[in-house]
């Protein structure tokens, strides 16, 4: 991840109609922005929803006046939901863990390598076991007892984070918490959702005799394990895997799915449309 | 698949205890049998179930007297469920289809190539669309109306089949049918079970926004989509796949999972243990 | 694949600079074209090559005058290589085979299902074994002896094809042939290129003891097995696979990789940039 | 990985003939050993090589006298290469690294979790960058300059290791070193061998335009990148991946392939047969 020039990101969601791409790209060209990447998706050319993500580099233009002009000249006429997200300063991230360390360690290591497009600003946990890892990577560690949602909210607010990651955090967060936290929450579920919604998925996978197990990273909503899926992955297993064997294979899947989902989110690549995502 | 010498297969299931492998392999060695392949699985060395599959070639011995002696000298003392299955004559197979042709065509093609360790003896369907394909490959085609289970049973009996394959057969078979058919029935379900049990799995996968879809081959039991899983496979999909796109990807998964499961079964490689399989 | 309205495809390749997307999309919007899909790739924002593929539906405009105007108003000012490709009439395809039938059968079956965005107009072969399959699907079969390139060219010309697919065609085509055939040629190589370039890849894979085998679909150039790669796929194997086992696994990989590559080409999704492809 | 009773492992390689399994399993049963797992492979039932790995638990017998008796009663008569390997004390492992930390960290983390059936006894490097990670996990770190093979040998001897792992160690070891080190050496090569043998595989993969990249764990022999392959894995990539993107994807493949290979070796699951492995 080189430093290079600042890449701005424009995210757009609006009713689909002719002329959107033309209007946006003409506006950007007229303000000295060179588009370096563009992705778009239309749920249905007639009557559907249009989603777009553009990255551009400013060549001489001014970011603030461009943003103001965009709303007036393009956003309003097309009734867009839109957002311009400077890729720096990078988003601040809190990671919540319980006893399992693999997802946390993997995120910390990727962050140290510079692979993660954000800053890990806080590790919070209802156990002490991950304190040394967090502090070893130079990240503050906040012990927060289970159920102490008010304390957790205040730690997150103090750390000023824009993303919360549940890295095998074994506490269910209330709808009230999700409303008040004020930023997206990403969870890793240790099954190939919607198979094995809820607790103890590896044991249930063993009992059902599945030949493939998986993990799912999703945004957290009030309904348990039902939020929009960001990424999933799987591995083949067989009758020789007992419950510990499944968990061992599963840990590898969990950490790579969660890291990929967090990275996509930090790059503003995940667009949510009802209960689905466009990545 | 070369013709080579006849390979016999011994399948064993019994309570685990010391000395089973020794007893079986000494017996075989003493009767002029050269073991060419051996797989075994123990659910738990103390108090568990022991499963074994051995392939052997007879060098001078006599198959019939070996089989009789085995029961007396090894099977009975160890209280084994056991079976010796000559790999020839090969099992006769009936394929049941409705309108979708991809799984049927794939099985017919593999059978023509000699990849399948069995004989496709009958194609039966509640529609006419697959008649030409079946007959083009030289396989008799039996039209059987939906719900006409008695007629279906009599067609299967007349064809003398030892395996029934539901290759996207869109009729639910009754418990009574399953009891009377007298041989295993393998089904392909177009989802990654236990996700999306029941009808219309691709539509439900689309609505849930999963990033991976799959298919599952399983033995049919009276409880819908709950029988022992033989094989599963998956493919990655994304927001660009509409329902037709998912079905197209799905067809490729379905046909290869079903073909693999049928082949494993025909090679006597699938051992069922409660509701799970050892393959 | 529904019939729906005609979707036109615009393919562009030019030196990268600011304003290209704006110019193209404004032009299309101004001519009554609704862009339904857009993909673009830039090798380097400063000094690189810009590639774009847009699909659009004409709402009231006229295709012929749009095409003429595009060259004048956009293509020339940006010094573009460009092409507008109506998605109908669909491209005509010739499939060349030798003795192996699996890739051919798979293409024929997909074509019959309507999965393939083209017409299989001819099967040509230096053997007779695939005649019945071709004719069974209603496709003319032309026997052409090995080395008879002039005869092959005349058969291809008579069939008026825009794509030649080598579906395990075991003859090397000369540079002269490739020049004179006048359309792209896609080959399936039965290895994970660039491993095992040349003949007998499965035997060499066995000898090297690889744990994964693969197949590669690529455009044919005069240098053997070195043309631009369109798609690749792999499967896991182990020591239990002898040469026949590898070939059996390999056939499944070959047919799905070739089908995917042919389909992507027929949808004008494959852009070639030097010796690489953007798909 | 529970502690449980000591599981002994018997590894056998000999000319194939009838009666081997019977002889071995009868011997073990007669010495109070309960076989808990057995794998065997024959390259060819007539005239081939027979490989077997058995795990057993001693119930009352004596390990030392069993081992002595085995050689006399079974090993010698069948002219076996054989070895009985107590699974404890576990093998001691040295990890050699240069600047890249991902494979090292992954091994250290798995070892800390108890997933690795061995002891990481030493990290040696021609750079200082990985010192903190090694020492943070409580493992001694030995700085050894490039080319100082004598010093490296003496560090490895002092640490009394039975396995050397090259975890992205960017020095070529001499044939003399390999002879004198006295234990197996496992390397991770950052390509899907035999594609891209030698240096800079990701750059060459980019230039060739491959659609899948991989990594290969293999035993080191004097011929560069040509030793027996233990494990390989791959991931799909596309034109959007530049060289940094390929390296990032590649690091994930490298660490999981290497960890899997090291673990299989530590469990005595890798049997080498000429230049291939049976895993």
* B111 interfaces chain A, CB cutoff of 8 Å: no
Span C25-30, average pLDDT: 90
Q: For residues A51 and A40, is the Cβ–Cβ distance under 8 A? A: yes
pLDDT in tens, A234-248: 999 998 899 999 999
Residue B249 forms part of a structural domain? yes
* C258 interfaces chain B, CB cutoff of 8 Å: no
> Does the annotation mark C225 as catalytic?
yes
Q: For residues C130 and C60, is the Cβ–Cβ distance under 8 A? A: no
- Side-chain half-sphere CA neighbours of B137 within 13 A: 23
Whether residue C45 is predicted with pLDDT greater than 70 in this model: the reply is no
Give chain D's radius of gyration (CA, Å): 21
D24 and D161 in a single domain? The answer is no
Domain count, chain B: 2
Residue D2 forms part of a structural domain? no
- Predicted local confidence at residue C21, as pLDDT: 87
Measured CA angle at C144 (ends C139, C145), to 5 deg: 150
Q: Quickly count: other Cβ atoms within 10 Å of residue B247's Cβ.
A: 16
Q: For residues B134 and B108, is the Cβ–Cβ distance under 8 A? A: yes
Determine whether the interchain pair A26/C28 forms a contact, defined as Cβ–Cβ distance below 8 Å. no
Determine whether the interchain pair D102/A109 forms a contact, defined as Cβ–Cβ distance below 8 Å. yes
D116 and D229 in a single domain? The answer is yes
C157 and C41 in a single domain? The answer is no
- Predicted local confidence at residue C139, as pLDDT: 98
Determine whether the interchain pair C35/A21 forms a contact, defined as Cβ–Cβ distance below 8 Å. yes
* C9 interfaces chain D, CB cutoff of 8 Å: no
pLDDT in tens, C235-264: 999 988 999 999 999 999 999 999 999 999
| % of chain D surpassing 90 pLDDT | 71
Least trusted range by pLDDT, from C11-15, C130-134, D6-10, D137-141: D6-10
ipTM over 0.90: no
Using 50, 70 and 90 to split pLDDT, how confident is the model at A227?
Answer: very high
Using 50, 70 and 90 to split pLDDT, how confident is the model at A2?
Answer: very low
Using 50, 70 and 90 to split pLDDT, how confident is the model at B196?
Answer: very high
Cα gap B14→B78, rounded to integer Å: 7
C43 vs chain D: nearest CA distance in angstroms?
9
Task: Say if residue D216 is preceded by a cis peptide, omega within 30 of 0.
Answer: no
In A, minimum Cα distance to B205 occurs at A194
Among A1, A115, A136, beta carbon nearest to D136? A136
Domain termination residue (choose one: B86, B109, B126): B86
D251 and D176 in a single domain? The answer is yes
- Predicted local confidence at residue A156, as pLDDT: 98
Least trusted range by pLDDT, from A9-13, A177-181, C31-35, C182-186: C31-35
Cα gap B240→C152, rounded to integer Å: 39
* D196 interfaces chain C, CB cutoff of 8 Å: yes
- Predicted local confidence at residue D174, as pLDDT: 95
Among C212, C229, C238, beta carbon nearest to D279? C238
- Side-chain half-sphere CA neighbours of C46 within 13 A: 6
Looking at mean pLDDT, say which of A46-50, C84-88, D188-192 comes out highest. Answer: D188-192
- Predicted local confidence at residue B4, as pLDDT: 57
- Predicted local confidence at residue D87, as pLDDT: 58
- Predicted local confidence at residue B233, as pLDDT: 96
What CATH number does residue C49 fall under? Answer: 3.30.70.260
* D69 interfaces chain C, CB cutoff of 8 Å: no
B182 and B162 in a single domain? The answer is yes
C36 vs chain A: nearest CA distance in angstroms?
6
Look up tokens 């295993």; give the residue: B184
Span D25-41, average pLDDT: 86
D162 and D31 in a single domain? The answer is no
Looking at mean pLDDT, say which of B7-16, D1-10, D169-178, D265-274 comes out highest. Answer: D169-178
Average pLDDT value over all residues in chain B: 91
Whether residue B2 is predicted with pLDDT greater than 60 in this model: the reply is no
Phi, psi of A10 (to 5 degrees): -110, 125
Of the candidates B225, B238, B242, B268, the residue annotated as catalytic is: B225
- Predicted local confidence at residue D232, as pLDDT: 97
Residue B61 forms part of a structural domain? yes
Whether residue A273 is predicted with pLDDT greater than 50 in this model: the reply is yes
pLDDT in tens, A28-42: 988 988 888 888 888
* A233 interfaces chain B, CB cutoff of 8 Å: yes
B134 and B60 in a single domain? The answer is no
Cα gap B261→B259, rounded to integer Å: 6
Domain termination residue (choose one: D86, D117, D146): D86
C73 and C101 in a single domain? The answer is no
Residue B190 forms part of a structural domain? yes
Residue A243 forms part of a structural domain? yes
Among B194, B211, B276, beta carbon nearest to A232? B211
Span D242-258, average pLDDT: 95
C192 and C213 in a single domain? The answer is yes
| Chain B environment of C113 (Cβ under 8 Å) | 101-102
Give the residue with greater pLDDT, B21 vs A138: A138
pLDDT in tens, C169-191: 999 999 999 999 999 999 999 99
Span C111-135, average pLDDT: 95
Whether residue C1 is predicted with pLDDT greater than 50 in this model: the reply is no
| Chain A environment of B215 (Cβ under 8 Å) | none
B36 and B146 in a single domain? The answer is no
Average pLDDT value over all residues in chain C: 91
Residue D1 forms part of a structural domain? no
Global pTM? 0.90
- Predicted local confidence at residue D72, as pLDDT: 95
In A, minimum Cα distance to D260 occurs at A249
pLDDT in tens, A125-156: 999 999 999 999 999 999 999 999 999 999 99
Measured CA angle at A150 (ends A144, A154), to 5 deg: 75
The token pair that represents D268 in the structure block: 């005595």
Using 50, 70 and 90 to split pLDDT, how confident is the model at A1?
Answer: very low
Least trusted range by pLDDT, from A255-259, B50-54, B209-213, D155-159: B50-54
Residue C251 forms part of a structural domain? yes
Q: What single DSSP character describes residue D74?
A: I
pLDDT in tens, C197-228: 988 999 999 999 999 999 999 999 999 899 99
B131 and B247 in a single domain? The answer is yes
Using 50, 70 and 90 to split pLDDT, how confident is the model at C40?
Answer: confident
Of the candidates C133, C225, C252, C268, the residue annotated as catalytic is: C225
What CATH number does residue C120 fall under? Answer: 3.40.50.170
The token pair that represents C71 in the structure block: 């060259």
Domain termination residue (choose one: C86, C118, C149): C86
- Predicted local confidence at residue B1, as pLDDT: 37
Beginning with the edge strand found earlier in the chain, give each strand of the sheet holding D118-125 in spatial order: D141-143, D118-125, D91-97, D163-166, D185-189, D212-219, D229-236
- Predicted local confidence at residue C224, as pLDDT: 86
Using 50, 70 and 90 to split pLDDT, how confident is the model at B87?
Answer: low
Determine whether the interchain pair B35/D21 forms a contact, defined as Cβ–Cβ distance below 8 Å. yes
C99 and C163 in a single domain? The answer is yes
Q: For residues A123 and A110, is the Cβ–Cβ distance under 8 A? A: no
Range of the structural domain that residue B21 is part of: 7-86
Residue D122 forms part of a structural domain? yes
Span B153-177, average pLDDT: 96
Among D102, D244, D256, beta carbon nearest to A252? D256
Q: Round to the nearest angstrom and report the end-to-end CA distance of chain D.
A: 20
CA-to-CA dists, residue B257 to B106, B233, C167, D162, angstroms: 11, 6, 24, 42
pLDDT in tens, B45-64: 677 888 899 888 887 778 88
| Chain D environment of C13 (Cβ under 8 Å) | none
Determine whether the interchain pair B238/A279 forms a contact, defined as Cβ–Cβ distance below 8 Å. yes
Of the candidates D106, D117, D225, D268, the residue annotated as catalytic is: D225
Whether residue A220 is predicted with pLDDT greater than 50 in this model: the reply is yes
- Predicted local confidence at residue C198, as pLDDT: 86
B151 vs chain C: nearest CA distance in angstroms?
31
| % of chain A surpassing 70 pLDDT | 97
Using 50, 70 and 90 to split pLDDT, how confident is the model at A85?
Answer: confident
Span D153-171, average pLDDT: 96
- Predicted local confidence at residue C279, as pLDDT: 87
């Amino acid at each position: 991840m080189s430093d290079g020039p600042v890449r701005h990101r424009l995210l757009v969601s609006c009713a689909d109609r002719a002329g959107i791409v033309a209007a946006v790209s003409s506006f950007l060209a007229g303000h000295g922005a060179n588009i370096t990447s563009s992705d778009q998706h239309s749920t249905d050319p007639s009557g559907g929803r249009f989603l777009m993500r553009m990255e551009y580099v400013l060549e001489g233009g001014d970011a603030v006046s461009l943003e103001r002009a965009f709303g007036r000249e393009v956003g309003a006429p097309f009734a867009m939901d839109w957002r311009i997200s400077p890729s720096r300063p990078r988003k601040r991230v809190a990671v919540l863990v319980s006893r399992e360390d693999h997802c946390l360690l993997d995120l910390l290591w990727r962050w140290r390598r510079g692979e993660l497009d954000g800053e890990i600003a806080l590790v919070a946990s209802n156990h002490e076991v991950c304190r040394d890892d967090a502090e070893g990577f130079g990240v503050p560690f906040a012990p927060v007892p289970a159920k102490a949602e008010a304390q957790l909210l205040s730690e997150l607010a103090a750390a000023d984070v824009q993303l919360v990651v549940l890295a095998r955090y074994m506490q269910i967060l209330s709808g009230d918490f999700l409303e008040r936290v004020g930023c997206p929450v990403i969870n890793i579920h240790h099954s190939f959702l919607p198979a094995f919604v809820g607790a103890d998925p590896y044991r249930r996978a063993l009992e059902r005799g599945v030949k493939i197990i998986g993990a799912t990273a999703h945004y957290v909503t009030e309904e348990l394990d039902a939020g929009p899926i960001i990424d999933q992955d799987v591995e083949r297993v067989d009758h020789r895997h007992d419950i510990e064997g499944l968990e061992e294979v599963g840990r590898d899947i969990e950490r790579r799915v969660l890291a990929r989902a967090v990275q996509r989110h930090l790059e503003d690549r995940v667009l949510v449309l009802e209960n689905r995502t466009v990545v």
